[in-house]
């Protein structure tokens, strides 16, 4: 279906009327396991000689429909759905790295990702080098022989910083390592990282893909263009014989979706963060309205950002849709349909001003999520980024004065009045 428009693909990719009953909505296959036709079919499935369903930790028809839909929207070769965005990061990097390996990440990331990379991964013998992504050459300067990947967010959470993907992708390609892009805030409606040189795209489907704050999930999308065998021995999980599959070599056997198959056949099999069928159904249903929601939310976010940019209680607004924003030109290049629906503001009253704002709003919900149809607000320094040092938080765009705003689908004039009354109390 790749020749169809984005809106058509968001509704139809990965799903068709159910052949037995004719059901038009995506069925929820609420089952743990599947009956084999005979012993030969079972053996072929377990040996990865044929594709099909064995056990819902690995594959499930509802989950598979979601995987195909997001892979199609991103322009990738295959997708793997997992239990959360954090699980997507873990499975993707676990597939690429072994004890003693390193990777490079932008320092402007979701606070939970910074903690996962710097603390939890360190306990596993993996080292992350954080760099200031405002200068792409910082990624080149941080390269070492042990680096196995570069990780960035296309649109950084919470600061709304746009990553200059094209030069970072060139640096990764020259170094022979994959560029992994978290495309959660932009979604494939606004930005398609594979078109700018990315090799792997990740999503927290909890956010804009699902769009209604009712289910947690994550996606790994294989771009299918990286040559995992270019440097022998560099990515053994993909190029060397797999002891769990009688010596099968994933890249040699599956080619342009070998990475995705390894994430599923080893990562999901052994680590187990599978996505529930009902969550997959909710996320896939949410994607049907993704283009409509994103367009409206971007338009409303721009109006709200313009209002706050002139408010006397606001020191600054970080939103790439504003012409005076340093990332405006990058947003026009990578996200011409809009600069997203999440941005940050700095309160002149500092930490206390941030707390006052999040406690004073009435329509906005004060909670730790983004990308909902409902408008949301958060003070990162006291929540999502509180585990970071003050220096780390400031580098990530989450200093004490910062408030994150996620604009939803309400009447924009109501949102502006709500923020104004909370700031003016």
Taking only the tens of pLDDT, the chain with its 425 residues reads: 568 999 999 999 999 999 899 999 999 999 999 999 999 999 999 999 999 999 999 999 999 999 999 999 999 999 999 999 999 999 999 999 999 999 999 998 988 899 999 999 999 999 999 999 999 999 999 999 999 999 999 999 877 789 999 999 999 999 999 999 999 999 999 999 999 999 999 999 999 999 999 999 999 999 999 999 999 999 999 999 999 899 999 999 999 999 999 999 999 999 999 999 999 999 999 999 999 999 999 999 999 999 999 999 999 999 999 999 999 999 999 999 999 999 999 999 998 899 899 999 999 999 999 999 999 999 988 776 666 777 777 776 778 899 999 999 999 999 999 999 999 96
Whether residues 253 and 373 share a domain: the answer is no
Residue 374 is assigned to a structural domain of this protein: yes
Q: How far apart are CA 100 and CA 122, in angstroms?
A: 10
402-406: strand order across its sheet: 314-318, 342-347, 402-406, 376-378, 365-366
Q: Which residues contact 212 (CB under 8 A, 6 or more apart)?
A: 282, 286, 372, 373
> How many angstroms separate the Cα of 169 from the Cα of each of 137, 150, 192, 198?
11, 9, 13, 6
| Domain enclosing residue 15, as ranges | 6-286
Q: Is residue 1 part of a domain?
A: no
Query: Rounded to 5 degrees, what angle do the CA atoms 264, 265, 267 make?
Result: 60
Strands, sheet with 218-222, edge to edge from the N-terminal-most edge strand: 78-82, 218-222, 200-204, 179-182, 147-153, 102-106, 127-131
Same domain, 359 and 401: yes
pLDDT at 332: 97
CA distance 297 to 170: 32
Dihedral sign from CA coordinates of 175, 178, 182, 188 = positive
Q: 84 near 205, Cβ under 8 Å?
A: no
Say whether both 262 and 301 belong to one domain. no
What distance in Å separates the CA atoms of residue 233 and residue 239, rounded to the nearest whole number?
7
For residues 191, 195, 196, 200, the Cα torsion angle rounded to the nearest 10 degrees is 80
* Domains of the chain: total: 2
Cis peptide before 158 (omega within 30 of 0): yes
Q: Residue 17: CB partners within 8 Å, gap ≥ 6? A: 23, 24
CATH code at 409? 3.90.1150.10
82: domain CATH number is 3.40.640.10
H or E, element range at 66: helix 61-74
| Model confidence pTM above 0.85 | yes
Please identify, among 286, 316, 342, the residue that sits at the C-terminal boundary of a domain. Answer: 286
How far apart CA 203 and CA 192 sit, in angstroms, is 12
Q: In the chain, how long is the greatest CA-to-CA distance?
A: 73
Last residue of a domain, one of 286, 319, 337: 286
Q: Examine residue 418 and state whether it is found in any structural domain, yes or no.
A: yes
Distance CA 374, CA 150 (A): 33
């Amino acid at each position: 279906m790749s020749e169809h428009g984005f809106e058509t693909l968001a509704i139809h990719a990965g799903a068709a009327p159910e052949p037995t009953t004719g059901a038009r909505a995506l069925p929820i296959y609420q089952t743990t396991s599947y009956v084999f036709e005979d012993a030969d079919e079972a053996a072929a499935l377990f040996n990865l000689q044929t594709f099909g369903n064995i056990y819902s930790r690995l594959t499930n028809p509802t989950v598979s429909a979601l995987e195909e839909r997001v892979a199609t929207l991103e322009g990738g070769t295959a997708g793997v759905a997992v239990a959360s965005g954090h699980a997507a990061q873990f499975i993707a990097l676990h597939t690429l790295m072994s004890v003693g390996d390193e990777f490079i990440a932008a320092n402007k990331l979701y606070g939970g990702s910074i903690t996962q990379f710097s603390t939890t991964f360190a306990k596993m013998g993996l080292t992350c080098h954080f760099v200031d992504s405002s200068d792409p050459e910082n990624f080149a300067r941080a390269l070492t022989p042990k680096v196995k990947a570069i990780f960035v967010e296309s649109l950084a959470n919470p600061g709304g910083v746009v990553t200059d993907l094209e030069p970072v992708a060139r640096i990764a390609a020259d170094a022979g390592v994959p560029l992994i892009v978290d495309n959660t805030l932009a979604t494939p409606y606004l930005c398609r990282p594979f078109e700018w040189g990315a090799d792997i795209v990740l999503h927290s489907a909890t956010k804009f893909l699902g769009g209604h704050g009712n289910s947690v999930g994550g996606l790994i999308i294989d771009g299918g263009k990286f040559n995992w065998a270019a440097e022998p021995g560099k990515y053994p999980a993909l190029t060397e014989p797999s002891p769990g599959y009688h010596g099968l070599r994933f890249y040699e056997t599956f080619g342009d979706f070998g990475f995705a198959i390894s994430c599923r056949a080893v990562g999901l099999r052994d680590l187990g963060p599978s996505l529930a069928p009902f969550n997959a159904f909710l996320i896939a249903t949410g994607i049907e309205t993704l283009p409509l929601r994103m367009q409206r939310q971007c338009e409303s976010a721009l109006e709200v950002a313009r209002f706050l940019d002139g408010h006397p209680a606001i020191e600054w607004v970080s939103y790439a849709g504003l012409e005076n924003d340093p990332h405006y030109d990058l947003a026009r290049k990578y996200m011409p349909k809009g600069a997203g629906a999440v941005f940050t503001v700095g309160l002149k009253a500092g930490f206390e001003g941030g707390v006052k704002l999040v406690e004073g709003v009435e329509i906005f919900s004060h909670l730790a999520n983004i990308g909902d149809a409902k408008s949301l607000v958060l003070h990162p320094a006291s929540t999502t980024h509180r585990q970071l040092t003050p220096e780390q938080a400031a580098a990530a765009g989450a200093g004490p004065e910062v408030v994150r705003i996620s604009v939803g689908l309400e009447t924009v004039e109501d949102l502006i009045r709500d923020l104004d009354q909370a700031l003016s109390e």
